[in-house]
Amino acid sequence: MVDAAGTSVIIALLMVTAAGVSFVFVWYSWFRADHPISETFALLMLADGLWALFSFLGYISPTDAIALLWPVPTTAASSFGTVAWFIFVTRYTADSEWIPVAVERALFGLAALYVTLFALNPGGVVHAASGVGRYGLLRLPYPEPGPVLLGYTLFTYVLLAVTFGLLGRFLLRTRNLYRKQAALIFGATIVVTLSTVFYVAGFSLHPQLVLTPVFLVVQAVGIGIALYRYDFLDVSPMAAHTLLAEMEDPVFVVNTDGRIADWNRAAAAHIDTDDAYPAIDDIGHPELSAALASTDGGAESPTPTVTTTATRNGRPERVTFDVRTTAIPDRYGVVRGHAVVLRDITEQEERKRALETQNERLEEFTGVVSHDLRNPLQVIDSRIELARQTGDLSHLDDASEATQRMETLLDDLLDLAREGRVLDETNEVALADCVADAWASIAAPDAALTVETDRTLVADASRLQQVFENLFRNALDHGGTGVTITVTDTEDGFAIADDGPGIPEAERDTVFDLGMTTDADGTGFGLAIVERVVDAHGWSISVAESHAGGARFEVSLGEHAPLTVED
C-alpha cells in the first residue's frame, strides 16, 4: 500500500502532467489559429495549465513562506480558467450568438476584481487567515474563507451550472453527428467539477489538499481527444449543425444500417415517424426512399430525379428533387454513411418542360395556321372578288361567315397557347365543386349531370374547370342536348362519362389531335386544350367506352397520385 509520501509524489507528477498536456494543446491550438474556436480553446488550456503549474509549485515549495506566495497566482489562473471555460462552451454550442460580448467582458472584469481583492485582502473580507498544511512531501497553502471568497465560489458554481446546462441542451438537440463529441467534453469537465465538489464537501485525502489541478489532465485529454479525434476544429459542431438546419433543401445523413442518423428541418417534412433513428422506409414517399436506397454515393453513382409532394406556405405542392449522395468516410477511409441532399430543381424542370412544350406547340400552330386558316382566307378572297365582278353583295355574307370562322379559330388558338403553359399556381381543389362551377357555365337545361366524387386534389382550379367545360361541351355536341354525364372517381384519378354515341376505337388515338373533329362547325381544338391542361398538371388522359356505350375520358394522376386527399 502506498503511504502519504508516495501518494504525494504521484499527485505532484499528475499536476506536472496536467500542466504539460494543457500547454501542448495551447501550442497546437495556436498552430491551428485559422479555425474560429481554436483561440478560445487555447485560452482555456493556458488557464488550466497555469492552474496546475502554480498548484504544483506551491505544493513542492521548500518553505512555508514560499508556499504562501502561490495561492494568488493559483487563484488568478483558476478564476480566469472558469471564465475561459464559459466562453469556450458558448462558442462550442453557438450560444455566443445571443450572449452579448459585454457579458464576457464583465466576467473577465469580475475575475480580475476578485483576484485583486484576494491579493490585497482588505479587512480580511476575502480570507480571514492563511496557513500551510502538510501531506506527505507536499506543503498545502490554504486560506481561511471569508465572505468574498465564499460568495465568489458560489458564483463560480452557478456559472459552471449554466455551462453544463448549455452543453446538456446541445447534447440533447444533436443526434449522431456530434453527440459523442459533446458527451466526451461534458464528461471530462464533470470529473473536474466533481473533484472540487468533493473537496468542499470534505471528501479528500487531507482537508487542505485540493485535487482539482490533478484532474485537469482528465479535462485536457478528454476535451483534446473530443476536439481533434472528431476533427472538430475543421468546422465547429454547432456551425455544421446550423448549416444543416438552415439549408432550404432536405438533407439526410444515412448510416450503413440504412437508418437516418440525422436530418434537417426541410427533410423532417418527409419523415412519417417519431423514431429517433428512422429507417429509409419511414420516408413518406416510396419514390423518395427508393432513390435514397439505390445510391451508394460513389463517383459513378447515378443521380436520380424524384417528384413528390412538399408543403409550402401551408399548402402541398408538387416538387422535383435531384438526389445528390456523398459518402462519409472515417479517418481510415471506411465509409460510415452517406449525406444525401435533395436539391430542388422544380423550377428548372418546369422551364425545361415549358420549352419542350413551346417547341411542340410551335410546330402544331404552324400546321394549323397554314391549313385551317388558309381555307377561310380563300373563301373571303373569292367571295369579295365575286362581289366585285357581279355586284351581288350576298357573296359578302359568305365572306362574313368565313371571318367569324377565323375569329373562332384564333380564339381557340389563344386558349390552346395559354393552356399549354406550365402551371403558375396550384391549390387544393374539391373536385365536386370544380365540376359544379363548370356545369353552371354550360347552357344545357335538358342534359343531366351526376357527380360521384369527394376527392380533393392539387390543381389550378380555373384551368381544371376548363377541362370539364370542354368535355361537357363535347358530350353535348355529340350526344345531344338530353345527354347524361357522370363524373366519378377512379383508382388513381377521375373520369367523365356520357351516354352518347361514343368514340370509335379506331379514332381514340387521334381524338386529341389539333383540328380533329367530326362536327362541321367545330374547330377541333376543344379536346386538344383538354389534353394540354392535363399535361400541364403532369397527369395523363385516355379515352374508353362508358358503361352506357358513350365516351369515357379517364384522367390518371400517375406518379402524382399522392397529391390527392380522400375526405
Residue-wise pLDDT for 392-413, tens only, equals 888 788 778 778 767 766 766 6
* DSSP H/E element including 426: none
pLDDT of residue 566: 36
Per DSSP, 454 falls in state -
What one-character DSSP code corresponds to residue 538? Answer: T
Higher pLDDT among residues 123 and 37, named by residue? 123
pLDDT value of position 366: 63
Maximum mean pLDDT: which of 72-76, 243-247, 364-368, 385-389: 72-76
Instruction: Kindly calculate the radius of gyration of the chain based on its CA atoms and give it in whole angstroms.
Output: 40
How much is the pLDDT for 333? 63
Per-residue pLDDT at 496 = 95
Closest CA to 527 of 537, 517, 539, 540: 517
Residue 259 has what DSSP assignment? B
Q: Which residues of 155-175 are buried (b: 16+ CB within 10 A; e: fewer)?
A: ebeebbeebbebbeebbeebe
8 Å CB contact between 90 and 164: no
Maximum Cα interatomic distance, the chain, rounded to a whole number of Å = 140
Q: Going by C-beta distance under 8 Å and a sequence separation of 6 or more, which residues neighbour residue 306?
A: 285, 287, 288, 290, 291, 320, 321, 323, 342
Q: CA-CA distances (angstroms) from residue 438 to 133, 419, 463, 512, 522?
A: 98, 16, 10, 20, 20
Interacting residues of 462 by C-beta distance below 8 A, sequence separation 6+:
none
For residue 514, is pLDDT > 70?
no
CA distance 105 to 97: 15
Give the long-range contacts of residues 26-33, CB within 8 A, separation 24 or more.
Answer: 28/228, 29/233, 32/233
Percent of the chain's residues with pLDDT above 70: 78
pLDDT at position 567 over 60:
no
The pLDDT of 174-182, averaged and rounded, is: 64
How would residue 295 be classed by pLDDT, with cut points 50, 70 and 90?
Answer: low
More confident residue, 91 or 229: 91
pLDDT, position 243: 55
Question: What would the mean pLDDT of 229-235 be, rounded to a whole number?
Answer: 48
* 111 Cβ contact partners less than 8 Å away, ≥ 6 residues apart: 76, 79, 80, 82, 83
Residue 506 pLDDT exceeds 90: no
Which residues are within 8 A (CB) of 457 and not within 5 positions of it... i.e. 6 or more apart? 428, 429, 431, 557, 563, 564, 565
Q: Cβ neighbours of residue 113 under 8 Å, at least 6 residues apart?
A: none
The predicted pLDDT at position 332 comes to: 45
The larger pLDDT score, comparing residue 4 to residue 159, is at: 159
User: Which residue in 410, 366, 454, 417 sits closest to 536, CA to CA?
Assistant: 417
Residue 510 has pLDDT above 50, yes or no: yes
| pLDDT band per the 50, 70, 90 thresholds, residue 234 | very low
Is residue 175 scored above 60 in pLDDT? no
Q: What is the pLDDT of residue 106?
A: 94
* Residues counted in the chain: 567
pLDDT of 115 = 94
Question: What are the tens digits of pLDDT across the range 519-565?
Answer: 545 456 678 888 888 888 889 999 999 999 999 999 998 755 444 33
Return the amino acid letter for 242: T
Q: Which of 157-161, 295-299, 340-344 has the weakest average pLDDT?
A: 295-299
Better-scored residue on pLDDT, 239 or 511: 511
Tens of pLDDT, residue by residue over 435-474, are 998 898 887 888 999 999 988 888 888 888 888 988 998 8
Tell me the pTM.
0.48
User: What's the mean pLDDT in 284-294?
Assistant: 65
DSSP per-residue codes, 300-353: T----EEEEEEEETTEEEEEEEEEEEEEEE-TTS-EEEEEEEEEE-HHHHHHHH
- The torsion angles phi and psi of 523, rounded to 5 degrees, stand at -100, -15
pLDDT recorded at residue 74: 94
- 516 pLDDT higher than 60: no
Q: Tell me the pLDDT band of 233, cut-offs 50, 70 and 90.
A: very low
Chain position carrying cell 430525379: 305
What digits encode the pLDDT tens for the residues 305-331?
Answer: 777 776 666 666 777 888 888 777 754
pLDDT of residue 564: 38
Average pLDDT over residues 492-511: 88
Residue 279 carries which DSSP code? B
Mean pLDDT, all residues of the chain:
79
Residue 303 above 90 pLDDT?
Answer: no
- In the predicted structure, residue 117 carries a pLDDT above the cut 80: yes
pLDDT of residue 565: 36
Residue 429 has pLDDT above 60, yes or no: yes
Q: What pLDDT does residue 232 have?
A: 43
Q: CB atoms < 10 A from the CB of 460, how many?
A: 19
pLDDT for 105 equals 92
